[in-house]
Amino acid sequence: MSTEFAVLSTPGRSQEFWFEDGDVVLSCLLPNNRRFFYRVHKFMLARHSVPFAEMLKKEVIAAQCREFVDGAPVVFLPEPAPEIYKLLCCLYNALTLQNPHSLEEEQPITRYDWLLRLCAKYQILPLSKYIIARLKAEWPVTLPAWDTREAHITAMRQQHIAAGPTRRVHNMYLDDRLPEPVMIIKIAHTLCLPQLLPAAFYELARSNPRAEWDALHTVATRALAQNERFLVEGVRSARWGALSAQDMLVLATLKETLSTLVREGWDMMKRLEMPHAVCDTARKGVLDRAKELAVASRDVLYAAHWACHYTTKAGMCKACETNLVRCLATFRMSCWHTLLRKFQHP
């Protein structure tokens, strides 16, 4: 072989993506700057990506390739090896994309942020469309879809409670398994997906302002007492430091709007006609407790939903119970529509 070509020794080979009949080797870097290799098939990359198809043309490889591993040409990619591994998982394993829960245990911020960047760079349109569809499902625009999402998160929370004192499932805390709202807001701005914003901003409005996502999910700071307590308690965090000044202003006005809705909505429901003193007392108890819950949780939708269920156990007559439940349901829908209108373009 000509001396201008180097034949590499490869201690860092992928076990999963090293195919003996692979006709190209992808070289990436590990966090320690050591090289790592995947031996894959040109057709698998080219069929999904125009840039890959151009990069892997015979004449391009013949002109640019100067290294070989086991006879296969080496192509250098700037992305870290772990990102390329996950991309190959998606491209090679169609079931991963067809099963809506198969990526559930991944950290969503990792799953979407890096993958959308790769999809944009390498023009992998089907995968990009799939991810955007998943994003829209996770950040819904209808109240029933939001309630379904919340029921799923509640079920996940119960899994972590049942896991005992560690509160870990698959070695992860609840916050590890749930989407982080600031990154979704940034993705919505970047990809012009304004329909993601109402749910994402509402999630941010109810997140704990003292729980910084980066501190809770970085190895160096994760085990600190305060951070570990947040994780064990199932506190929802956000990347507060990454929030732009404009989005911070939007968040502040949203919180003010929600606070006004709670005050005015509760006052209106307290003025409902109640023919019986027992029903009137029960109604006051339900609304006072729900208002406390709304303030403590920063989640007016949850507080009103809780009040709907608690009303049925409060000892009211059937007519008063039905009337209050109807008012609470109308109030929730009004809150949701107010949230959607806040992010509509003029």
Angle of helix 277-297 relative to helix 318-342, nearest 10 degrees, comes to 30
Pick the range with the lowest mean pLDDT from 147-161, 222-236, 270-284.
270-284
What 3-state class would DSSP assign to 266?
Answer: helix
What 3-state class would DSSP assign to 317?
Answer: coil
Q: Has residue 105 got a pLDDT over 50?
A: no
Q: Has residue 176 got a pLDDT over 70?
A: yes
| pLDDT (mean) for 322-326 | 92
Q: Determine the pLDDT at residue 141.
A: 95
| pLDDT (mean) for 319-341 | 93
Q: Token match 């303030």: residue?
A: 295
Structure token pair of residue 217? 């999910």
Q: Determine the pLDDT at residue 334.
A: 94
- Per-residue CA distances from 52 to 47, 55, 265, 280 (Å): 9, 5, 56, 69
Buried-state track 18-44, b at ≥16 Cβ within 10 A, e below 16: beeebebbbbbbeeeeeebbbbbbbeb
Q: Has residue 345 got a pLDDT over 70?
A: no
Query: What is the rounded CA–CA span in Å between residue 252 and residue 257?
Result: 9
| pLDDT (mean) for 294-316 | 91
DSSP 170-227: TTB-GGGGS--HHHHHHHHHHTT-GGGHHHHHHHHHHS-TT-BHHHHTSHHHHTSHHH
Q: Token match 């007559």: residue?
A: 317
| pLDDT (mean) for 312-319 | 88
Query: What is the rounded CA–CA span in Å between residue 198 and residue 16?
Result: 40
Query: What is the rounded CA–CA span in Å between residue 47 and residue 125?
Result: 11
Query: What is the rounded CA–CA span in Å between residue 119 and residue 136?
Result: 17
| pLDDT (mean) for 282-286 | 90
Place 169 in a pLDDT band, splitting at 50, 70 and 90: very high
* 68-96 tens-digit pLDDT: 888 899 999 999 988 898 888 888 875 44
Q: Answer for the pair 310, 293: CB distance below 8 angstroms, yes or no.
A: no
By the 10 Å C-beta count (0-12 exposed, 13-18 middle, 19+ buried), 186 is classed as middle
Q: Determine the pLDDT at residue 107.
A: 53
Domain chopping of the chain, boundaries? 1-78, 134-243, 255-342
| pLDDT (mean) for 152-158 | 94
- Per-residue CA distances from 44 to 63, 76, 103, 234, 308 (Å): 22, 17, 21, 41, 53
Q: Determine the pLDDT at residue 97.
A: 47
Better-predicted residue by pLDDT, 93 or 228:
228
Query: What is the rounded CA–CA span in Å between residue 192 and residue 282?
Result: 47
Question: Phi first, then psi: what are they for 14, rounded to 5°?
Answer: -70, 135
Structure token pair of residue 266? 């509760």
Q: Has residue 19 got a pLDDT over 90?
A: yes
Whole-number mean pLDDT of the chain? 87
| pLDDT (mean) for 34-55 | 91
Question: Phi first, then psi: what are they for 30, rounded to 5°?
Answer: -85, 170
Reference 110, options 93, 92, 85; nearest CA is 85
